[in-house]
């Protein structure tokens, strides 16, 4: 069954941002579904859906990314082809609107899995990936958020996701991701992010780490995660959810719930995960107040989206 699922972050999405998140998810699902519907590959569907959200300033990926501790945007992304266990990832890159496309180039045109920082950008130049200016990625909302965060003593990733008690401020985890299954039975998954707000320069989260942010294996399923990366990496969330399907014979929903329980119980973590099994059945779970998610498959008449 052709199938696609996307996420646009798990956090305390404010009421006035719900509509933008909902609309962005619908557009991303539709863009990816269009590829699958006309017989395209799962990889193309994942890349297309994520590019759509990287372009959209609503999310913490590409345009709209968070600002790090020295006022720069640094982004991470990964993509995985579940047919051959091929993977590509980039971390701590700057001035590129579509990190997911660069991750795919690493997968398809290099002998490596993960390139970071200057090396990744050197590879991008060799691959004729377009560069943009820092201002193309930095939106006023994030500059303002960064200024507010800088006023909070002892601000950290953990309080970003659990909420800053004195202020009620709850920083967004607007990482984006997608999992797709095409008509040939190939699964692909991808994730793209600007990381966490005010992160230390060079900090890398879960999103480009295969098994934590992204995983896909044709015979079992695929997953993409969002949330507080330092906790997600400790439970290798994406692979753990896929393992729930393979080793415990769980439904995608049950495997996703188990993964989020482990995130909370073992790592005191926060986040969300989307998953498809090898038949294209979707599952999703999160332990934050809201999660932006949506999906479409051959059993449905129109895409579903919710925040
Ligand atoms: N989940 C995104 C990050 O922590 O970087």
Q: Is 9 in the pocket of ligand 1 (CB under 6 A)?
A: no
Taking the CA of residue 203 as reference, the ligand 1 atom at the shortest distance is 5
- As a whole number of angstroms, the distance between CA 62 and CA 12 comes to 21
**Nearest residue CA, atom 5 of ligand 1?**
195
* 300 CA from centroid of ligand 1 (Å): 31
- The domain made up of 3-306 has a fold known as 3.60.20
The residues that bridge with 295 in the sheet, in sequence order, are: 5, 304
Handedness of CA 181, 214, 91, 272 (dihedral sign): positive
pLDDT computed for residue 76 by the predictor: 98
Contact between 63 and 55 under an 8 Å Cβ cutoff? The reply is yes
Tell me the two tokens of residue 140: 């006023």
pLDDT computed for residue 147 by the predictor: 83
**Nearest residue CA, atom 4 of ligand 1?**
229
Contact between 107 and 81 under an 8 Å Cβ cutoff? The reply is yes
The pick from 193, 210, 238, 272 for probing ligand 1's pocket by mutation, whose C-beta has the most ligand atoms within 8 angstroms, reads 193
* 301 CA from centroid of ligand 1 (Å): 33
pLDDT computed for residue 167 by the predictor: 47
- Whether 288 is catalytic is no
pLDDT computed for residue 140 by the predictor: 84
The residues that bridge with 274 in the sheet, in sequence order, are: 224, 284
The pick from 53, 228, 235, 237 for probing ligand 1's pocket by mutation, whose C-beta has the most ligand atoms within 8 angstroms, reads 228
Would you state the torsion angle of the CA atoms of residues 91, 155, 13, 4, taken in this order, to the nearest 10 degrees? 20
Nearest to 115 by CA among 91, 150, 96, 137: 91
**Residue 307 CA neighbour count, 13 Å, CB half:** 19
- As a whole number of angstroms, the distance between CA 218 and CA 220 comes to 6
Q: Is 174 in the pocket of ligand 1 (CB under 6 A)?
A: no
The pick from 195, 225, 270, 287 for probing ligand 1's pocket by mutation, whose C-beta has the most ligand atoms within 8 angstroms, reads 195
- What parts of the chain have a pLDDT lower than 50? 164-169
Q: Is 231 in the pocket of ligand 1 (CB under 6 A)?
A: no
- As a whole number of angstroms, the distance between CA 32 and CA 7 comes to 12
Instruction: Pick the catalytic residue from 175, 191, 225, 226.
Output: 175
């Amino acid at each position: 069954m052709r199938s696609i699922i996307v996420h646009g972050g798990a956090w305390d999405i404010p009421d006035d941002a719900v509509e933008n998140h909902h609309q962005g998810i619908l557009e991303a699902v539709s863009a990816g579904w269009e590829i699958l519907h006309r017989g395209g590959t799962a990889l193309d569907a994942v890349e297309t859906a994520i590019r759509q959200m990287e372009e959209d300033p609503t999310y913490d990926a590409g345009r709209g990314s968070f600002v790090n501790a020295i006022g720069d945007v640094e982004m991470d992304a990964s993509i995985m082809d579940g047919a051959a266990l091929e993977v590509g990832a980039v971390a701590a890159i700057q001035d590129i609107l579509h990190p997911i496309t660069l991750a795919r180039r690493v997968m398809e045109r290099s002998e490596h899995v993960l390139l970071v920082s200057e090396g990744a950008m050197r590879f991008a130049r060799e691959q004729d990936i377009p560069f943009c200016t820092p201002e193309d990625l930095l939106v006023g909302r994030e500059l303002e958020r960064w200024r507010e965060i800088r006023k909070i003593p002892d601000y950290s990733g953990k309080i970003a996701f659990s909420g800053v008690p004195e202020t009620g401020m709850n920083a967004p985890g607007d990482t984006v991701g997608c999992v797709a299954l095409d008509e040939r039975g190939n699964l692909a998954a991808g994730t793209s992010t600007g990381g966490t707000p005010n992160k230390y320069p060079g900090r890398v989260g879960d999103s480009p780490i295969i098994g934590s942010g992204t995983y896909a294996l044709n015979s079992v399923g695929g997953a993409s995660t969002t949330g507080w990366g330092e906790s997600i990496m400790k439970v290798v969330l994406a692979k753990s959810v896929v393992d729930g399907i393979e080793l415990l014979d769980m439904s995608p929903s049950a495997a996703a719930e188990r993964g989020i329980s482990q995130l909370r119980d073992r790592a005191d973590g926060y986040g969300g995960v989307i998953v498809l099994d090898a038949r294209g059945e979707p599952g999703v779970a999160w332990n934050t107040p809201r999660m932006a998610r949506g999906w479409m498959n051959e059993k449905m008449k129109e895409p579903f989206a919710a925040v």
